[in-house]
Structure 1
Amino acid sequence: MTRTAQEVLAEAVRGLAPAEGANRLVPRIAAGEAPREVFAAFALEQHRIITSDRRSFAHLAGRAAGDPAAARFFESLAQGEDLALPLLDPLALACGLDEEALRDHEPRPACQAYPSYVAWLALNAEPVDVAVALTANFAAWGGYCATVGAALREHYGFDNPACGFFDFFAGPAPEVEERSVEAVEAGLANGRLSEPLAHRYGRLLQAYELMFWDGLAVR
């Protein structure tokens, strides 16, 4: 039986979801038990991640030039990174960071493994396979951002602008979701989609995502 793109994506989201308790930091944040320094580290690391991912998504869009649906998906992601980057500024300010701190920050290897792998995917993987892997990861990432945004207000006294970055990723993204479906539909039709590879990429993305959160708490 031929499966639909929605079924392929739903299976990836379900099958690649992190195990309960796999993320050790977000529950601590939700309970108000994590130190505030974690949020400064988050802002510093994300400045590099967002700029790196934006280039990776733009490269994937270019590589998918012969597959307009996949190209549109990655173009949407690149545009989203452009919108997300300035939302980090109020968070950095609330954490007492200035331009010098952002410039001089030494990246943490565990936190930068994720964008490094996204860059590898941009160079090596079939774009539609990456679309499936990223869609699964975004489901987990969005949940983490929703939890952290709520906790920042409830336990740490951050205002709405400082939480804007988390709100952006926690909220629905119907255009991105629609273009993900279109990309997978095209991949199914043209035979370019490899679900085993997409799931392999997704498992690694989820692992690097967890490394990012663990890395924020390590000095």
Structure 2
Amino acid sequence: MTRSAAELLDTIRRELAPGESENRLVPLVAEGKADKAAIGALAAEQRRIIEADWRSFLTLAARSTEPASREFFSGLAGGEGLAKAKLTPLAAACGFDEAAIRDYKPRPGCQAYPAYVSWLALHSDPATAVLTLVANFAAWGGYCATIAQGLREHYGFDDEACGFFDFFATPVPELEEQALAAAQAGIDAGIDLSPAMEQGRLLQAYELMFWNTLAEG
């Protein structure tokens, strides 16, 4: 029997949920033990990631023939534009001005994630990519919430400096509703969404690589 989109998403999230010790940077920030330069590097890496993901999401929206998928990816692209503006005060709080961000040398371990999202934009069925991406949102949002709290408690960052992390830590139920509608439309159209599990596993691994590269740096 074909499982519903909600059942598939629950299965993917359950099987791919990262372990508590897999992300090495977030606990350091939570305890106030991370170097502020690592947070500045995160902002510089995210500037490049956002610009890449923005284009990838627009590409997926353009490839989507189903309205719910187009709406989902268009919404993600719009969110990237809002998030990009919040990186400047975060970087400034870490001592990174625009010149420092421009001159920053991105690390391969951090840029593997957007490279794979670009692969999804070109090669994944859009409905499958929806499940792949939304399955990772809960973990990413949790990381951002923990970092925002740690930056306030241990580093004295204000709301503006924490705005980037607050933005992604805030749940958006409508986004998941769109994702489920898009995935369900794919199932109803006979699309095999099972590759979402493999794609989700790779995406999660690349995200952990992002965090742990910064922790090692």
Would you say the 8 A contact 2:24–2:215 is kept in 1? Answer: no
Tell me the residue number matched to 2:121: 122
Tell me the residue number matched to 2:175: 176
- How do 1:27-176 residues align onto structure 2 when only pairs under 5 Å count? 27-64=27-64, 66-176=65-175
What is the CA–CA distance in structure 1 between the aligned matches of 2:17 and 2:98, rounded to whole Å?
A: 36
What is the CA–CA distance in structure 2 between the aligned matches of 1:54 and 1:116, rounded to whole Å?
A: 12
Q: Structure 1-normalised TM-score?
A: 0.96
**1:2, distance to aligned residue in structure 2 (A):** 4.1
Tell me the residue number matched to 2:213: 215
Would you say the 8 A contact 1:57–1:77 is kept in 2? Answer: yes
What is the CA–CA distance in structure 2 between the aligned matches of 1:182 and 1:13, rounded to whole Å?
A: 17
What is the CA–CA distance in structure 2 between the aligned matches of 1:103 and 1:25, rounded to whole Å?
A: 23
In the comparison of the two structures, how many residue pairs are matched?
217
Matched, 1:20 2:12: no
Which residue type is aligned with residue 145 of structure 1?
Answer: C
Task: Kindly report the root-mean-square deviation, in angstroms, between the aligned alpha carbons of the 2 structures.
Answer: 1.1
Would you say the 8 A contact 1:32–1:155 is kept in 2? Answer: yes
Cα deviation code 1:135-194 (max 9, x no counterpart): 111111011001000000011110010000000100111221111011111011001142
What is the CA–CA distance in structure 1 between the aligned matches of 2:30 and 2:188, rounded to whole Å?
A: 43
**1:26, distance to aligned residue in structure 2 (A):** 0.9
- Give the secondary-structure state (helix, strand or coil) at the position aligned to 2:96: coil
What is the CA–CA distance in structure 1 between the aligned matches of 2:197 and 2:13, rounded to whole Å?
A: 10
Q: Quick one: percent identity of the two aligned structures?
A: 57
What is the CA–CA distance in structure 2 between the aligned matches of 1:109 and 1:81, rounded to whole Å?
A: 21
Consecutive unaligned residues of structure 1, counting only runs of 5 or more, are: none
- Give the secondary-structure state (helix, strand or coil) at the position aligned to 2:86: helix
**1:31, distance to aligned residue in structure 2 (A):** 1.2
Which residue type is aligned with residue 131 of structure 2?
Answer: V
Would you say the 8 A contact 1:17–1:136 is kept in 2? Answer: no
What is the CA–CA distance in structure 2 between the aligned matches of 1:48 and 1:21, rounded to whole Å?
A: 27
Would you say the 8 A contact 2:43–2:87 is kept in 1? Answer: yes
What is the CA–CA distance in structure 1 between the aligned matches of 2:71 and 2:8, rounded to whole Å?
A: 19
What is the CA–CA distance in structure 1 between the aligned matches of 2:2 and 2:19, rounded to whole Å?
A: 29
Q: Structure 2-normalised TM-score?
A: 0.96
What is the CA–CA distance in structure 1 between the aligned matches of 2:23 and 2:115, rounded to whole Å?
A: 20
What is the CA–CA distance in structure 1 between the aligned matches of 2:20 and 2:155, rounded to whole Å?
A: 25
- Give the secondary-structure state (helix, strand or coil) at the position aligned to 2:3: coil
